[in-house]
Amino acid sequence: MRVLAVWCPDWPVVAALLEEGLPATAPAAVIKANVVEVCNEEARREGVRRGQRRRDAQGRCPELRLLASAPDRDGRAFEPVLETVEALRPGVAALRPGLLAVRAPGRWFGTEENAAATICEALVETGVWDVRQGVADDLFCAEQAARWADLQGWRVVPAGGAATFLRDLPLQVLEQDPQGREVVGLLRRLGLSSLGDLAGLPAQAVEHRLGAFGSRLRRQARGEDPTSFHARTPPPDLECEVVFEPPLDSVEAVAFSVRRTADRLVEQLAARQLVCTAVRVEACTDDGGASVPTSVRTWLHPRFFSPADLVDRVHWQLSPRATGGVRSRKDAGVVAAPVERVRLVPETVEPAAAHGEGLWGGAGDELVERGVARVQGMVGFEAVRRPVLQGGRTPAARQADVVWGERAVDLRPLDRPWPGRVPGPPPALVFRQPPPSEVVDDAGVGVRVTERGAVTGVPTSFRPPSGGWQPVLSWAGPWPVDEGWWQGAEGRCARFQVVGADGRAWLLRCADDGWTVEAGYD
């Protein structure tokens, strides 16, 4: 069996640069545990090496772009490569991100060189620049051949020529894992330097001295790699689509017709013991023959989507702004033209077992979810919120509300110290639009806070959000904060806790543009 290996060197770096939309020619390295895990050719040219400490690498190459290690991302980015090769030759085995193997295409492409050239062309077209291929009798030899190929090139080891090809390779090629590194170190100390030396040793002696692992290495070096690979099963196509002929112009009609498709989507997921927690709804309008998705939105679900939930999401996405009320404040993605097709694409699929309900409950929560969905139907999807806490310095920054039915994303961490935050019990009223206020001292002059954080006068009287001027009973502060001025945030300001003559307390904020009431200790 002839094997073709496709190798994309430094794949983690390529994948990271690709996903962050950075140019592929900049020196970059993937860092794990403060040590360079992988770096690209440009970085190597500057002297960055694998296993180097981060600081050393930066010392060698100051413009080195540091990327976090993310095996998931590498695998995700490798998926298009697998698909491209799969389209040309089924039976692809993904050995690890950056390396795949496939049974060498035989006579269909004429010769193996032609096959390699075709695959290379297809991959370069998808945007993978650095592709190297090797064709040989076994997997190990094919991988080594790919490693010795040129950029966008290939190396074909003729049938039966594996031993000859491998003979001159240095032993370092076996240093793939810690165990291999250990064995290579031992072999070097024994005076061996190439794979040919290892291949020439008697089988029994290697077995005695190096065990099963060593004898496997010896067989690989002789071109008799016993490893076989299993072709992957292409992932199933889970998205569902419904086409309307003629196009529908009523949201109700679309929602009704989508019902069966939603059922089908959930059913086919359930048949694979999966549930969907994020779904993308795409609606295409009949737009002069070309059907382009005009309304695309990804919906998240706190648990997982049932068919009724999916129908609701389609309804909410397509409903135009209701007359009056506060229905759907965000009118992005509203379809005005008749809808021709609706696609439901599951974006995140999770095993159903992870979302199973206990035998002893959950029914109450389901009831609440149904009731709240009814409220969302009345006032709009985004009018029902779920409060969450997050980190921050002010009461308003320390809380957020997310749309009911969506997951909270991008929250600031709560467990940081947040220096400069206002102490004391949290206020029961946090104004969304802080009302303006004024604070004066006993001479009637407005109180300010200087650049050094000093208060210019003793506050004696202030204006709460409702009612007229009130004498200050007691006050505390200031808590100065100089925050986010580099990105256009609030900049320098100071906060005061002020207790009015009626015993109520307020949190006032003094900035360059005046005083506001941020929160009330009601």
Partner 1 sequence: MSVRPLPTSGDRAEVVARLRERVAALECRTTRSAGQTVPSTSGLSSVLPLEAGHAYGVDSAFLGLALAAGASRAGEWVGFTGFPDFGAEAAAGLGVALDRTVLVPEPGEHWLEVTAALVDVLRVVVLRPTVRVDAKQAGVLESRLRRRSAVLVVHGGWPRLTASVSLERSLWEGPLDGRGHLERRRGTLVVDRRGRPATRVDVVTTGSEVEVLTPAPAAATPWRRASG
Piece of 184-192, 259-267, 423-431, 437-445 that binds partner 1 (CB under 8 A) = 423-431
Round the CA-based radius of gyration of the chain to a whole number and report it: 33
Q: What is the end-to-end Cα distance of the chain in Å, rounded?
A: 79
Q: Quote the DSSP letter at residue 105.
A: P
Q: Nearest 5°: phi and psi at 81?
A: -65, -45
Residue 457 touching partner 1 (CB under 8 A): no
Give the span between the Cα atoms of 13 and 28, in whole angstroms. 7
Residue 19 per-residue DSSP state: H
Interface segment toward partner 1; rule CB under 8 A; list 30-38, 39-47, 113-121, 367-375:
367-375
Place of tokens 């193996």: 112
Instruction: By CB under 8 A, tell whether 24 contacts partner 1.
Output: no
Of residues 429-448, which lie at the interface with partner 1 (CB under 8 A)?
Answer: 429-432
Minimum Å gap between C-beta 472 and partner 1 is: 10
Burial class (CB in 10 A: 0-12, 13-18, 19+), 363: exposed
**Part in contact with partner 1 (CB under 8 A); list of ranges 69-77, 100-108, 270-278, 513-521:** 513-521
**Tokens representing residue 408 in the block:** 């909270």
Residues numbered 285-344 forming contacts with partner 1, rule: CB under 8 A: 324-326
Helices 363-379 and 307-318, axial angle in degrees (round to 10): 20
- Is 372 a residue that touches partner 1 (CB under 8 A)? yes
> What residues contact residue 450 under an 8 Å CB cut-off, 6+ apart?
456
How far is residue 410's CA from residue 162's CA, in Å, rounded to a whole number?
53
Give the span between the Cα atoms of 215 and 511, in whole angstroms: 75
Tell me if 196 sits within 8 A of 166, measured CB to CB.
yes
Find the shortest distance in angstroms from Cβ 312 to partner 1.
15
**Complex with partner 1: residue 272 or 321, whichever CB lies closer:** 321
Site string for partner 1, 472-511 (x = CB under 8 A): -xxxxx-------------------xxx---xxx------
Part of the chain binding partner 1 (CB under 8 A), chosen from 60-68, 201-209, 243-251, 366-374: 366-374
- Asked if 471 touches partner 1 (CB under 8 A), the answer is no
> Taking each helix axis from N to C terminus, what angle separates 178-189 and 203-221, rounded to the nearest 10 degrees?
120
Under rule CB under 8 A, residue 221 binds partner 1: no
Question: Least distance from C-beta 97 to partner 1, angstroms?
Answer: 36
Nearer to partner 1, 287 or 502 (CB): 502
Interface region with partner 1, contact rule CB under 8 A, candidates 96-104, 109-117, 274-282, 363-371 = 363-371
Using alpha carbons, list the distances in angstroms from residue 27 to 45, 54, 60, 61, 73.
9, 14, 11, 8, 19
**Stretch 374-403 residues interacting with partner 1 (CB under 8 A):** 374-375, 378-379, 383-389, 395, 398-401
Contacts with partner 1, residue ranges (CB under 8 A): 324-326, 364-365, 367-368, 370-372, 374-375, 378-379, 383-389, 395, 398-401, 404, 422-432, 455, 458, 473-477, 497-499, 503-505, 519-522
